[in-house]
A and B are shown apart, each in its own frame.
Chain A
Amino acid sequence: MGIKKIKIKMKKKIVIWYCIIGISINSCVDDRNFSTPIVNCVEPELEVTNTIAQIKEMAGFGVVEFTNDFIISGYVVSSDVSGNIYKTISIQDAPENPTAAIRIAIDQTNTYTKYPVGRKLFVKLKGLSIGYNRGSLEIGKAIGTTIERIPSLELHKHFFRSCEDVQITPKKVAISEINNNMTDMLIALENVQFASKELGASYANANNTNSEDRVVVQLSENCGFQSEINLRNSGFSNFRNQQLPEGKGEIIGVLNKYYSEYQLLIRNTEDVVFTEERCEEASNLQATVSFSELKEMYKGKLVEFGIDTEYVFEGYVISSDVEGNFSEKIVVQDAIENPTGGLQVLVDEELIYEKYEVGDKVLLKLNRLYMDEIEGVLTIGYPKKETIGEITKDDFQNFIINTNANFEIVPREVSLVDLDKMNLQNTLVKINGLQLIANEVGKAFTYYSGTTSAVRQLETCGVFSRIEIKTNGKATFSNEKFPTGNGSIVGVLFGENSKLQIQVRNLEDIFFTNPFEDCPVVEPKIMITEIADPENSTTARFIELYNAGDEVMVLTGWKLNKYLNGANSISGIPIKLTGLRIEPKSFLTIANVGFESVFNKIPNVVTTYITGNGDDVYELVDANGNVQDVYGKVGIDGTGAIWEYVDGKAIRKKNVTEPNAEFDISEWEVFSKVKGSRQNAPQDFNPGVR
């Protein structure tokens, strides 16, 4: 091998080794080291032509398109960082104390990464439009007659970011001061907390994407309610599952108007700054109105308490819907013991007991509520048609403030016979000596199946009057058998005095410890014993009723009818005898208005109804509508009849000791002008004596 060859070979070797070393060191493909883009800001050279306020003034009916080269600027106050605000940007005209703000709809998400809060933004309006969208002004792109979002790919034609990046100071306002001009501004509400009904809830829902409104309440210095606003939380926000904070403090948000209602949108939960203890309204509320004052206010017509009233009623819960017998109402009485009365409040809520238990002391704020009488009891609620309806689910807790103090309510013990004269409606009573009437024994509270409500009759042996117990068909015990024994029942009393009803909270309210008694049938022996038509005074006409039996008779539901001049139907409005009672062997006088001065005696009932002038029929009817006693023949004019008592009287013969539903002239002794035996008052009459 020659030297030349060796040299060539050496050269080749050098090339090879150079390559080997070169490969190990050298890297010629650049796939990881890139120069970092320099993120600098170039201020756009744009001249603002109009203020936001001026632009808003250009809005008219429908959609107004900008055809001029208008340019506005503003500071971004909204942010979609949490997903609560979606595809809109709100800008206002100053970082502090703004005078106008507007919302711009764009078809883009994650706008906060480009237009963060505080960034000044120029908007070229040419080609865009302004118009109302769900109650508030919005800038967007007109499609026909509606405002739509600006397509993301057209944004660069309209949006120009300034390099100015400022701190936005939210505008401090009271909820009550909020007005149209403030929509889309960043506002701060101080001294606010979530309404008590919202406590325990999350901003929206963890397991679905429904949006929720949460009521924020603004309070006065001493925790009094001032006003409220909805905090609107999107079901797509990343804080949708977070619990609402319980404290009190400040909420910052973008004001929005949804049709006629204002709502606040937070950018993220850092906008809710609750640093103080929650204020419980109840501790600052004082009762201002008593039951008797309320009763006084009720004049038979719907009472409107108005907006500015400060009526607060203090009461104690006596009803319970645990077993479903009471539903959609709360009954409160005005004292723990010996109440003077109570109210029932209608609420649209299924599980009231979770918030109001029996014995809870509550304060009822009547401001903005209404009162009427339903089923004989004073009822509070929202107006509904001519009367009262339920307070809505969302609102009732704002009116019924639970102090969370709980007391044992002692029911008032009463007997059936005294019940009708005591006005204990809407209070808790304990009626002793009750049992089912004989032909209801064996029945269920309602029926053995189904959800129809029903009433059962209860009685006390030896007392003619009865009381009904009402059971809701949806109560858990409604299909159970009604206990057969005898004892006391605790419940809430309601209904007219003429027809009282009781409603129990649960089965423990029925204490039937004694065996069922076979009550002797009490036959009322109330009879007409004297009918007077004195010749000398038409206003001293009277009718005397007599209890021939041995029991006190409570005349609840009884009526006295008259039939004038041979009428076939009852004349006028009959006299209701409810509230009256006759002791055994005693009398009751129902008289016209002149009776007292003529006889110098006070009749039991004074009424102009007693006008019988000799040819008219009187009829006594019991609570069941059965005729108990009658004088004269219904449908026959007594003129010329043997029972005519014109200018005279009819007296029951002493030997008659029972009423008779069939008129029998032989039981009577009749005096009249026709018979020549005129009678004058007072000497010829003897009311109250037989």
Chain B
Amino acid sequence: MKDSVQRLNAEYGLNLSDEEIEVIAKQAEAGQRLFQTLFEVDVEGIAPALKIDPAERQ
């Protein structure tokens, strides 16, 4: 994840310090762990809930 933050740092011209890169990488990793639980759900045949779907507004 640290590599990804470093790439972002270069692409966005952020001038992040090593410490800041570390903090952001840790935060992104924690997110990935949390989101991993979503991939364990059986979503066969389930379409994404998109709010642009007019049915969501009925």
Q: Do A and B bind each other?
A: no
| Chain B residues near A (Cβ < 8 Å) | none
